[in-house]
Amino acid sequence: EVQLVESGGGLVQPGGSLRLSCAASGFTFSTYSMNWVRQAPGKGLEWVSYISSSGNIRYYADSVMGRFTISRDDARNSLYLHMDSLRAADTAVYYCAREQYSSSWDFDYWGQGTLVTVSS
User: Is the CB of residue 63 less than 8 Å from the CB of residue 73?
Assistant: no
Is 94 a residue that touches other proteins (CB under 8 A)?
Answer: no
Is 115 a residue that touches other proteins (CB under 8 A)?
Answer: no
Residue closer to other proteins (CB basis): 73 or 108: 108
Is 58 a residue that touches other proteins (CB under 8 A)?
Answer: no
User: Is the CB of residue 98 less than 8 Å from the CB of residue 34?
Assistant: yes
Instruction: Single out the residue of 42, 46, 43, 119 nearest to residue 88, CA to CA.
Output: 119
Is 110 a residue that touches other proteins (CB under 8 A)?
Answer: yes
Separation of alpha carbons 34 and 50, rounded Å: 6
Residues that bind other proteins (CB under 8 A): 35, 37, 44-47, 50, 59, 61-62, 95, 97, 100, 103-108, 110-113
